[in-house]
Structure 1
């Protein structure tokens, strides 16, 4: 039986990290994107990341970051993974993976079947794929918009790398999303907030319980 692994993204404080760890999540995500209400400064991220216990993977979400920005983040924040959530090319993904020696997760926005070709392309260069709802054309944020997509598009899919389902997940719908897609990993941000950028420990516990309560064969 396969236990579902949960990523809680957009954490801002040591208390957020502690709540995520206590709930039993596998990944803690920190956002480095100025337009996001979940954006952290490097000192804030370092303080939050240092609160993570051994075994909780610390993930930095960046959007089209250059080497200078990545140098600062990786040099000062203890991390286990980089999540690329912009328009990074496959070459750029491979370059970042080689330069920083950290596993890389590449986000791919999905709205229709044609979007899935990018999953295969990025699977050749990334360690994991985050399959997320594609943001609207006028969206300010590349993710964390609370939008879902048609989960049937990824039902029973098998790719070259492990993948994670994201986009509009909540404690109320995550079990159904797992059932329909067979996802082994799920990611949530806005779905466990009381207000944009403000994590709710009760919602975190409820989400992790709902996700991990669904066991795949």
Structure 2
């Protein structure tokens, strides 16, 4: 039986985008709680978006070197299903909020050591490999090169960075990740999603899955 690649659409800032993403068939939406990001949302917006997300679509709250107080406020108010950490957070910090978490591994510095990341974050739900350099935010649109991945991951792998409707099928076939994560590749502008691109992206992921050997 063929495995279906899961899809997360990140950087949601508007109700209409959250509704469309869910209706189009995405498995998760990402809410960015990083003030410096052009896709940042505040807690009130996060609560409003959370309320309209239907069952079986997960809400992921993204942080980068946030204080424990900030993460705790978001967890209590928004009740995300998953947390995603993009900074220098240690495993003990990531696991302290009663939610499963994803840890980002930056591949933009030339390589991403998946084995070391697994050892450093043994309780992570998955590793998210992105094309940005260490210390930078996601949503950069930079690709991950297969040659940049070093070692083996014992966690599910989520692929991000530079994915678009015209290249995601090839990326799925090359990396065979558990999930793909897209933000800038399906936008008109930062935080403003493009419905046609979202629909095309989801269609292309399904097409790639159909072409994979069982």
TM-score (norm 2): 0.90
* Number of aligned positions between the proteins: 209
Contact 2:114 2:153 in 1 (8 A): no
TM-score (ref. length: structure 1)? 0.89
How far apart are residue 197 of structure 1 and its match? 1.8
Q: Deviations over 1:175-196 (max 9, x none)?
A: 0011111112100000000112
Q: CA RMSD in A?
A: 1.9
Separation in 2 of the partners of 1:160 and 1:22?
Answer: 32
Does residue 1:133 correspond to 2:134, yes or no?
no
Q: Deviations over 1:98-136 (max 9, x none)?
A: x32111000010133464444333441311110111338
Shift of residue 147 of structure 1?
A: 0.6
Cα deviations across residues 51-84 of structure 1 (Å, max 9, x unaligned)?
1000001000000111110121011102100000
- Closer, same or farther: CA 196–133 of 1 in aligned 2, 3 Å: same
Q: Secondary structure at the match of 1:178?
A: helix
- Please give the alpha-carbon distance, in whole angstroms, between the structure 1 residues aligned to 2:112 and 2:197: 34
1:83 is matched with which residue? 84
Match of 1:182 in 2: 176
Q: Structure 1 stretches of 5 or more lacking a match?
A: none
Instruction: Call closer, same or farther: CA 1:207–1:122 in 2, change over 3 Å.
Output: farther
**Counterpart of 1:105?**
102
- Choose 115-124 or 194-203, whichever is displaced more: 115-124
Unaligned runs of 5+ in 2: none
